Amino acid sequence: MDCHLWDQLTSQEIDRVIEMAWEDRTTFEAIEFQFGLPESAVIALMRSELKSGSFRVWRKRVTGRRGKHGMTSRSNRFRAACHK
């Protein structure tokens, strides 16, 4: 990928995306709504910003997790009004 979607984010915004990606209740859709990064870009960002071992742990943790995908998540606690 020549141009990363997160190149226009500040370092604080990148840190926040990483923090949100680690949170169990924050969906990929919420990250996309707030920062404009689809799930594939969040995965690529995590791969580039985390150490390889940390990335593998994160990837294993979120793969197949229902709560990371808004369509299957039952939690509305952290969901924006437009996602209901």
**pLDDT tens for residues 12-59?**
999 999 999 999 889 999 999 999 999 999 999 999 999 999 999 999
Determine, yes or no, domain membership for 79: yes
Determine, yes or no, domain membership for 42: yes
Determine, yes or no, domain membership for 55: yes
Determine, yes or no, domain membership for 16: yes
Determine, yes or no, domain membership for 54: yes
- The pLDDT value recorded for residue 74 is 54
Determine, yes or no, domain membership for 13: yes
Number of domains making up the chain: 1
The sign of the torsion formed by the CA atoms of 69, 38, 25, 76 equals negative
Determine, yes or no, domain membership for 3: no
Q: Are 45 and 17 within 8 A, CB to CB? A: yes
Distance in angstroms (rounded) separating the CA atoms of residues 73 and 69: 6
Q: Which domain holds residue 68?
A: 8-83
For the whole prediction, is pTM greater than 0.85?
no
Determine, yes or no, domain membership for 2: no
Token pair for 14 = 């990148």
